[in-house]
Amino acid sequence: MPKNCKAVKRELDDDVRESVKDLLSNEDTCDDSFKKSSLIVGSGRGSDAENEAARPAWNSKLQYILAQVGFSVGLGNVWRFPYLCQKNGGGAYLVPYLILLIVIGIPLFFLELSVGQRIRRGSIGVWNYISPRLGGIGFASCVVCFFVALYYNVIIGWSLFYFSQSFQQPLPWHECPLVKNKTTMFVVPECEKSSATTYYWYREALNISDSISESGGLNWRMTICLLAAWSIVCLAMIKGIQSSGKVMYFSSLFPYVVLICFLVRALLLKGSVDGIRHMFTPKLEIMLEAKVWREAATQVFFALGLGFGGVIAFSSYNKRDNNCHFDAVLVSFINFFTSVLATLVVFAVLGFKANIMNAKCVIVALLGNEVSHDLIPHHINFSATVSAEDYQQMTEILRGVMEKDYPRLGLDSCSIEEELNKAVQGTGLAFIAFTEAMTHFPASPFWSVMFFLMLVNLGLGSMFGTIEGIITPLVDTFKVRKEFLTVGVCLLAFFIGLLFVQRSGNYWVAMFDDYSATLPLLIVVILENVAVAWVYGTDKFFEDLKDMLGFTPFRFYYYMWKYVTPLLLILLLGSSVIQLGMTPPSYSAWLEDMASEKSLKYPPWGLGVCISLVVMAIMPVPVVFFLRYFNIIDENAGVVSTISYKKGCIIKESVRPEEDDDASLIHAKSPGSEAPSPMPGNSIYRKQSGGVPDAAPNGRYGIGYLMADMPDMPESDL
């Protein structure tokens, strides 16, 4: 090259460098129109940069993990998992549960964490972003969350009532009440036919009616407890994760302290080993039954809170480079070990209770049949608890000596195994079986206070996630004040919740528990899986995860998301529908005259309510699909996509997937990190700051970037 050409090139390079220096030095002094200019993709409602920049975040990783653990670990871990373990083969039940946790639970949990963390929206915004026609998935999640919150907080209210009654010595459910007439005193017949704890639960606490058709009016004590429960939830959630995150330190950790204390105390009780031995004695033949696997899959599904939207809402406050795969595995196994810990506690206490009931049974049987004390081994003391070994030795002696008369004694009914096989779940376990066992504890009021305080905390942890699954999507979608929305939702839920604190309220709780969540949530999670794996694309989603996490997830997840998990979920949905069809809807009613439970069929209007709960929960999915399919609502409605620039740097970027098939969810980096250049569409059009952008030929708004005091530039230079 000639020397003069090199000199010209050097001069041009110097001019370019000087121009760049001038531009950079003048950047801070340019007008506000440059600093606040934004790129708007699509026909959204306007720039959302300020909302994204101001989006709250977790104070620490520990606070976030505790929130997810508090949401997933709930009352079901304490009173449903032990029941299923007892019912479905003891220790053998843990095998199908673990397998299904790995095949269904962790992949779906990881999927929800990933989409929430990247898109940084609640459930409505997330599924609108991935596929506007499937935007109804988010609304369905919100409806289910609302239904579940209605009755779940009633259970917290029940726990608050028992907590308030536990500061008494002896406990109020320790003995049956006496009624005095003109001449004598006698035990209340309803209590005498059942038990003190059963009577207290149904008559004193619930004052229950004989059927769901008999309203019986409000139970004023439970109404106050329900108001207190909603007040606690409202105050804890009113500032979003800034307030609820701090509460999580107590509500998530305290139950573990109580469970460990209960386990240590229960292991010191006589007969606790019988309960634990019963729990871990495997019945391997039961594992071959399809019903066991179906119930294990359902428990895995609900234990992790899949489909509620709470998992997505909590993860949306994370940094985009957070390792959500580690979070998914960690929280899933914490949930599993919590269930095992709670089961150990429950069976240790039930073993203690079974020994007490067995001793009473033996004493009544022996004394009632006037068995000679010479036939009873001398070391057996009926004033103390009769152990299983003593009982077995005694019955063998009596069977050998009184061969012909032994059946007449009726001692075979006094069996610890038979007592432990009496499967108890739900409210029956917490408010009847456990309370009865605690009456025999030394310092029983202390343990009662601790137990019901633990139930309150377990319930609140799950409630925070459930309410977050309602509040976050609505705030992100409709841009309302979180404080006003939280108060409004809690007030509305309280007034609707008065339905559950009538004398027939327990039957309504059972109805909502059976029909408002199971089928709708299964359908929601199936659609979530299909939306990511088949509509958005598993390959593309894997690229996004690699960009977000910094590594490629195991190929195991590819096959789970695309083939295995959807198939298993469809099978689970089909078996649930078949089960509902084979067993007509019914509920357990407490009959005062008989002092026992009886299964009753729902009246016709009750069946209508059951069907309406399922239909209302899932209705948003087809409604939104058809409205957008037939263009009654623009597919772009509610999808705000903005790239904002401040001082020449991208502070927010969202890319509409339908604008560019090759676009990935994970193109944007977290604020403050190095951001890629915006990906323009087919054409780029200038937008004056504060003005209306020019319309592109396809009818949509283009992308513009106005630099202060700069002349028009050709598209190629942009």
The structure tokens listed for 693 are 């952008």
Between CA 86 and CA 67 the distance in angstroms is 29
Q: What DSSP state is assigned to residue 522? A: H
Alpha helices in 479-517, H assignment, sequence order: 482-497, 505-515
Q: What DSSP state is assigned to residue 166? A: -
The structure tokens listed for 665 are 């969810």
Nearest 10 degrees: Cα torsion 411, 413, 417, 421: -170
Tell how far CA 641 is from the center of its chain.
Answer: 30
Between CA 445 and CA 427 the distance in angstroms is 20
Q: Is 458 annotated as a binding residue?
A: yes
Between CA 19 and CA 10 the distance in angstroms is 14
Helix H or strand E encompassing 590: strand 586-591
Q: Is 307 helix (H, G, I), strand (E, B) or coil?
A: coil
The structure tokens listed for 346 are 């429950």
In DSSP notation, 530-550 reads HIIIIIIIHHHHHHHHHHHHS
Nearest-CA neighbor of 269 among 213, 344, 353? 353
Q: What DSSP state is assigned to residue 684? A: -
The shares of helix, strand and coil residues in the chain, as percent rounded to the nearest 5, are 65, 5, 30
Question: Is residue 289 a contact partner of residue 87, using CB atoms and an 8 Å limit?
Answer: no
Helix H or strand E encompassing 181: none
The structure tokens listed for 186 are 């006698």
Q: Is 77 annotated as a binding residue?
A: yes
Between CA 138 and CA 124 the distance in angstroms is 4
Q: Is 70 annotated as a binding residue?
A: yes
Q: How many CB atoms neighbour CB 599 within 10 A?
A: 8
Between CA 312 and CA 326 the distance in angstroms is 16
Q: Is 462 annotated as a binding residue?
A: yes
The structure tokens listed for 325 are 């795969």
**In angstroms, what is the C-alpha Rg of the chain?**
32
Residue 713 backbone phi and psi in degrees, to 5: -120, 145
Contacts of 405 (CB under 8 A, 6+ apart): none
- In the sheet where 641-646 sits, what is the strand order? 38-41, 641-646, 649-652
Alpha helices in 290-387, H assignment, sequence order: 290-303, 310-315, 324-369
- Relative to beta strand 641-646, strand 586-591 is unpaired
Tell how far CA 158 is from the center of its chain.
Answer: 19
CB contact burial 87-100 (16+ within 10 A = b; e otherwise): bbbbbbbbebbeeb
Q: Is 491 annotated as a binding residue?
A: no
The alpha carbon dihedral of 542, 544, 548, 550 has a sign of positive
Between CA 538 and CA 535 the distance in angstroms is 9
Tell how far CA 229 is from the center of its chain.
Answer: 18
Residues facing residue 589 across a β-bridge? 598
Between CA 148 and CA 634 the distance in angstroms is 31
Maximum CA extent, the chain: 130
The structure tokens listed for 182 are 């003109």
Nearest-CA neighbor of 210 among 502, 410, 412? 502
Nearest-CA neighbor of 83 among 270, 336, 279? 279
List residues forming the annotated binding site for Na(+).
70, 73, 77, 335, 458, 462
Enumerate the known binding-site residues.
70, 73, 77, 335, 458, 462
